[in-house]
Amino acid sequence: MTVELISVGTEILLGNIVNTNAAYLAEKCALLGLSCYHQSAVGDNEERLEDAIKLALSRSDIVILSGGLGPTKDDITKEVTAKVFGREIKEDAHTKARIQEYFRQVHSGQITPNNWKQAMVPEGAIVVDNHNGTAPGLIIEENGKAAILLPGPPNEIKPMFERDIASYLNKLQPEGIYSKMVKICSVGESKAETMVADLMDAQTNPTLAPYAKTGEVHFRVTARAKSEEEAEQLMKPMVDELYKRFGDKIYTTEEEVTLEEAIVELLKEKNLLVTTAESCTGGLLAGRLLNVPGASSVYKEGYITYSNDAKERILGVKRETLMEYGAVSPQTAYEMAAGAAKAAGADAALSVTGIAGPGGGTKEKPVGLVYIGCCVKGNVRVEEFYFTGSRDKNRDYSVVRALTLLREELLKHHS
């Protein structure tokens, strides 16, 4: 079955708010096995909204509208949809009672007259209770088509969808979509895609799709099946094949696990402490690691050594090294990593020194040149990188490359 999404609200068109509802609904509908070919955003205009609903119903089985169910005059989604379906709008006693109870609990019973507008529903509509607000969801069915009206606030639409709408849609489309994300580091996007080109050419069910992330490549393996267990059986051979090709460059197959979370877990498994010494990244690397809950068990202290004096004084980088090779050099990155490990009493250390831009580059050392050092149990490895983005991008890439380098070196270490 096909589903179409219409987001209602002039504030979306003006860019006053980010339309997160469309992304959420699209993902949820895809997981339910529904095909979504069209999405649109319409302002609070009766004529244009009516045209959008009619067009959507002409080409899709289900139309989901979000927003425009509030108590004010510009909230017209319900009224326009009822007009398209030729339905009268009448007061729903059940919804009115819920609104009254909601205001009694939350607003000390002070109800303004316009709030009763939300108790008016199209005749014959299925009313979906809103457990987090006053505007109920509505489902209008006719001639094999359905319009689903949902409130706009994310804290209302999401629980309503999870609680009631998903089960309704699942009955219409019993075969669902299930997926598993295989996350890879240490391999570039073009190389990774080349390594699986034959799998992508031959895909049917499951399918394989690559997603380029900053310094990473993610592969989504997706299967259409009647149950999660059946989907797992379909996806397993594909995931196993990816492991054969990428090996330990796969750091997780869990959607929510980040690279830094995988690294913190690896440090815990090996009972190792890590520290960081940063110049051009200015604490971003430490921040990524410390964003992980429980990172305090593997990270005790770190250093931002932006100046040469700080590199000498805190990390013990030799003045001769800085004078002869400069702060942005493999030699300095080496001594920063070794010095940080010693200063912190850590088993592992990462160092980053480079020219993030937009200024500061030379012909010999251009903007985007970054050296990253990694010390694990006294063994130091330094890598050279040339990034070509903005200052922010160059710093972001430096952080990911540093994390990737640390993971590679930790995998070599046997505790």
* Pairwise CA distance, residues 232 & 222, whole Å: 10
Q: How many CA atoms lie within 13 A of 66 on its CB side?
A: 26
The pLDDT tens digits of the residues spanning 250-262 come to 999 999 999 999 9
Q: How remote is the C-alpha of 304 from its chain's centroid?
A: 29
Indicate whether 236 and 309 sit together in one domain.
Answer: no
Same domain, 27 and 162: yes
Q: Which amino acid is at 351?
A: S
Distance CA 366, CA 384 (A): 12
d(CA 285, CA 288): 5
Q: What are the structure tokens assigned to 183, written together?
A: 């996350």
* Domain identity same for 219 and 268: no
The predicted structure's pLDDT at residue 28: 92
CA atoms within 13 A on the CB side of 100: 6
266 and 392 belong to one structural domain: yes
Question: What is the number of other CB atoms lying within 10 angstroms of the CB of residue 336?
Answer: 34
Each residue's pLDDT tens digit, 70-79: 999 999 999 9
Residues 19 and 146 in one domain: yes
402 and 350 Cβ atoms separated by less than 8 Å: yes
Q: Could you tell me the two tokens for 383?
A: 């890598």
pLDDT of res. 159: 96
Residue 185 tokens, joined: 């580091």
Cβ(305)–Cβ(352) under 8 Å? no
Q: What is the pTM of this model?
A: 0.75
Q: Return d(Cα 267, Cα 276) in angstroms, integer.
A: 14
Residue 405: pLDDT over 70: yes
Contacts 24+ apart (CB under 8 A), 292-296: 292/258, 292/260, 292/261, 292/264, 294/264, 294/268, 295/264
167 and 55 within one domain? yes
pLDDT digits over 328-381, tens only? 999 999 999 999 999 999 999 999 999 999 999 999 999 999 999 999 999 999
Same domain as 360, residue 226: no
Q: Do both 399 and 293 map to the same domain?
A: yes
Residues 369, 361: Cα–Cα separation, whole Å: 8
Question: And the tokens for 279?
Answer: 């110049």
d(CA 259, CA 180): 16
Give the domain-ending residue among 203, 222, 252: 252
> Residue 411: what residue type?
L
Is there a single domain that holds both residue 371 and residue 391? yes
What pLDDT is recorded for position 233?
A: 97
Mode of pairing for the β-strands spanning 145-150 and 62-66: parallel
Helix (H) or strand (E) holding 90: strand 89-91
Q: Looking at residues 166-194, what average pLDDT do you find?
A: 91
pLDDT in tens, 96-130: 999 998 888 876 667 888 999 999 999 999 999 99
Q: What is the CATH number of the domain that holds 358?
A: 3.90.950.20
Q: Are residues 138 and 229 in the same domain?
A: no
For residue 167, what pLDDT is reported?
92
> What is the pLDDT at residue 414?
64
Query: Are residues 246 and 220 part of one domain?
Result: yes
CATH number at residue 193: 3.30.70.2860
Nearest to 258 by CA among 300, 210, 290: 290
Regarding whether 230 and 276 lie in a shared domain, the answer is no
Average per-residue pLDDT for the chain = 95
Total count of domains within the chain: 3
Neighbours of 112 (CB within 10 A): 9
Which of 172, 205, 232 is the endpoint of a domain? 172
Angstrom distance (rounded) from CA 407 to CA 284:
17
- Ramachandran sector of residue 367 (left: φ over 0; alpha: ψ -120 to 50; beta: rest): beta
The whole domain housing 291 covers 259-412
Question: Domain end: 252, 278, 313, which one?
Answer: 252
Q: What are phi and psi of 95, to 5 degrees?
A: -65, -40
Residue 363 backbone class (left: φ over 0; alpha: ψ -120 to 50; beta: rest): alpha
Strand partners, 176: 225
Residue 173 has a pLDDT of 82
For residue 105, the model assigns a pLDDT of 82
Residue 299: DSSP 8-state: B
H-run or E-run covering 178: strand 176-184
